[in-house]
Amino acid sequence: MSRGAPQTTAQIEPGGLRFETEAGRTLLESAESAGIELPSSCRNGTCRTCICRLLDGEVRFRIEWPGLSREEKAEGWILPCVAEPVGDVRLDVPLAFSHF
């Protein structure tokens, strides 16, 4: 993580995995740096392989309108491949696992 950048964390449920998020990186990129694998494929917000629910916290998307409907966004669904956390977050990703 960059010196001086605020340290934030992401927690993955139901497994309780945790990792530090990195400023300017997506949740998927930060998870991979920490040895945590989240489902993914396209990495550009269109295939929806990585779709998961944001349980707590806030994200901002790198693209104007990711591959989510207005209703899905309102229900808390996000695409970690194009979502950057705004502070600490907690996600529901049942298929996530750690390589360590």
pLDDT tens-digit map of 7-60: 899 999 999 999 999 999 999 999 999 999 999 999 999 999 999 999 999 999
> Mean pLDDT over residues 83-95, rounded?
97
Tally DSSP H helices, then E strands, for the chain.
Answer: 2, 9
pLDDT at 4 over 70: no
CB proximity list for 76: less than 8 A, separation 6 or greater? 53, 54, 55
Q: Which residue has the tokens 């950057």?
A: 84
CB proximity list for 36: less than 8 A, separation 6 or greater? 12, 17, 19, 96, 97, 98, 99
pLDDT at 1 over 80: no
Burial of 65 (0-12, 13-18, 19+ CB in 10 A): exposed
Whole-model pTM over 0.85: yes
Bigger pLDDT: 5 vs 45: 45
SS3 category, 83: strand
> Mean pLDDT over residues 84-93, rounded?
98
